[in-house]
Structure 1
């Protein structure tokens, strides 16, 4: 889900070259280019999945901030759905989650202000309805932000990290029955924005991101109440497992397949194509086949029918509309 972000984030001037390690693991997997978006190319959009359909919308197309939404299935391709309503500002760098078959989209940036509003998409009617904005009990404290991450646990939605001009680490829980937000334990690691989040086995995982121009290497899981520190994503131990870790980055994407998490694309010293697989049982990462599309930042990803998809985003300046599916157990095929 996540992800989502803004045009001025991680600007880099050159595409990163695809590097290879000497191990066999990073040759495992195959990226297959599939049907490009029917919508305008864009970066910093949001995506979510309801049932057998993936949804993507909002973002920045290089000239305009957007409010349009589209749905996708492999069988039916792309179809435009109802835009966010006129009462909802255009935006990029928003965040999204799903609860009980309803998609929720909120926060972000409209080229003037950071936002705190949230909107619920009901696929049965195709309608967007406002929900309570992300609001602090003290009205003098604004929770408006961009570049946050979000996820769903146990029928509740969660928003954490992001930036309101300074990086954040507060965590808020949305209760759809009461239509209210409640503050939870703050993210366990450093403040950050432009991170990614994914959920496996009833736990959410938050990783990567940046603050003070420093890429963050700490990694935490969350069970809805408490944050737990996991192994760092750079070489900080005396053991060999992390010697080749090259995971730190910002404005990446994340998705889940077969109870393993995947992080790909994004930016560090340049745009990255490296793809890493996380095993929550071993709390370790393994490099997989590099992303085979154009190196990019500000992309989105989703999991559909247990396959991971990465799409949209931008190079240093050009928004993109292509889409790739990752097959983690297939051998590399340069012709697909």
Structure 2
């Protein structure tokens, strides 16, 4: 998830083609490190969230079973098991998670029977257990809002769920008020319908990008302003501008990628684009530009999770064909690539 100016230097063109950075080759921009594996099952289509100095990963599918377990991670202490989703909550994959204050909310997804879900559960570390919250139900209870592969984010004390899949791709948007424990409809996503997109938040604005519908990876990119309940279209993430060359090498359209944020820039990595991807991109909202960085150094995958902890970016889990992963990688976009770590 990132955009940045793409400039070609003459010398670089003579030696190795166009660079997307004015100081170094893409392969040197950013550095990945492999860390300790997840303490639980390998999995894909899990959820992750961060509260304070701790990251959490849970749910997902391990190739045989749908999961309801959760683990927490700190760089100092490593991995520790926490309370599972309760028995009243279906084990699931392709759910969403969002954090409002010191409480995480996990919901939607798909269970072992293939049913799309609409229930939500909250977890507050100081309590140490999960509590049932209002299911995703709007003013018209007959309207089915169950879904999988949606996106979720939190803005100004409220949570949001958007897009996803239920008998087709979706573009509706719902706001959760934690004080009322209620859901309210908001302005529908103004881009094309999609599932398996990513969302991120920078300075009280949310962004939705990537995703797929009708087997087509989506290239439109949108910014959401919660106060106005309004969507603003940004530059497309493909080479569609014939008059300028900033997008000549854009190649970030994909589905089921991960997103993370650091220092008011966003990052997307991995996912599916025909085959599995290892590409990593940085988005700068100040310029509405993307910059390609060092590709992910693990196995190409889809259905991973990404999170930011202590100003470090992390990527974990996912799958490649029939292989499911429990690995963990950190990424520093400001470091030069080091092949020895």
Q: Normalising by the residue count of structure 2, what TM-score does the alignment of the two structures yield? A: 0.92
1:71-100: CA deviations, max 9, x gaps?
Answer: 000000000000000000000000000001
1:237-248 → structure 2 map (5 Å cutoff): 237-238=241-242, 239-248=244-253
1:21 & 1:79 partners in 2: Cα distance?
A: 47
1:295 & 1:213 partners in 2: Cα distance?
A: 20
2:49 & 2:325 partners in 1: Cα distance?
A: 19
1:159 to 158, 161, 164: 161
Identify unmatched segments of 5+ residues in structure 2. 1-15
Tell me: CA distance 1:272–1:21, structure 2 relative to 1, closer, same or farther (3 Å): farther
1:175 & 1:211 partners in 2: Cα distance?
A: 29
What secondary structure, in the 3-state scheme, does the structure 1 residue paired with 2:189 have?
coil
**2:94 matched to 1:93?**
yes
1:272 & 1:56 partners in 2: Cα distance?
A: 22
**2:268 matched to 1:227?**
no
Tell me: CA distance 1:207–1:21, structure 2 relative to 1, closer, same or farther (3 Å): farther
Identify unmatched segments of 5+ residues in structure 1. 1-19
2:209 to 188, 207, 211: 207
| Partner residue in 2 for 1:114 | 116
Question: 1:111 Cα deviation (Å)?
Answer: 2.2
What secondary structure, in the 3-state scheme, does the structure 2 residue paired with 1:240 have?
coil
| Partner residue in 1 for 2:280 | 275
| Partner residue in 1 for 2:325 | 320
Q: Which has the larger Rg?
A: 2
What secondary structure, in the 3-state scheme, does the structure 2 residue paired with 1:109 have?
coil
| Partner residue in 2 for 1:260 | 265
1:187 & 1:303 partners in 2: Cα distance?
A: 26
| Partner residue in 2 for 1:149 | 151
**Structure 1 vs Structure 2 CA RMSD:** 1.0
1:140-191: CA deviations, max 9, x gaps?
Answer: 1110000000000000000000000200000000000011000000011000
Asked if structure 2 preserves the Cα contact closer than 8 Å seen for 1:25 and 1:286, the reply is no
What secondary structure, in the 3-state scheme, does the structure 2 residue paired with 1:251 have?
coil
2:133 & 2:287 partners in 1: Cα distance?
A: 39
**2:46 matched to 1:45?**
yes
1:330 to 331, 335, 339: 335
Corresponding pairs, count? 317
What secondary structure, in the 3-state scheme, does the structure 2 residue paired with 1:114 have?
coil
2:17 & 2:59 partners in 1: Cα distance?
A: 36
1:83 & 1:165 partners in 2: Cα distance?
A: 29
1:251 to 253, 256, 278: 256
2:311 & 2:199 partners in 1: Cα distance?
A: 17
What secondary structure, in the 3-state scheme, does the structure 2 residue paired with 1:292 have?
coil
Question: 1:319 Cα deviation (Å)?
Answer: 0.5
What secondary structure, in the 3-state scheme, does the structure 1 residue paired with 2:26 have?
helix
**2:197 matched to 1:178?**
no
**2:55 matched to 1:54?**
yes
Question: 1:25 Cα deviation (Å)?
Answer: 4.7
1:211 & 1:111 partners in 2: Cα distance?
A: 23
1:221-275: CA deviations, max 9, x gaps?
Answer: 1121111100000011121000000000000000001110001000111111010
- List 4+ stretches of structure 1 deviating above 4 A: none
2:92 & 2:41 partners in 1: Cα distance?
A: 15
| Partner residue in 1 for 2:105 | 104
Question: 1:331 Cα deviation (Å)?
Answer: 1.1
| Partner residue in 1 for 2:7 | none
Question: 1:122 Cα deviation (Å)?
Answer: 1.3
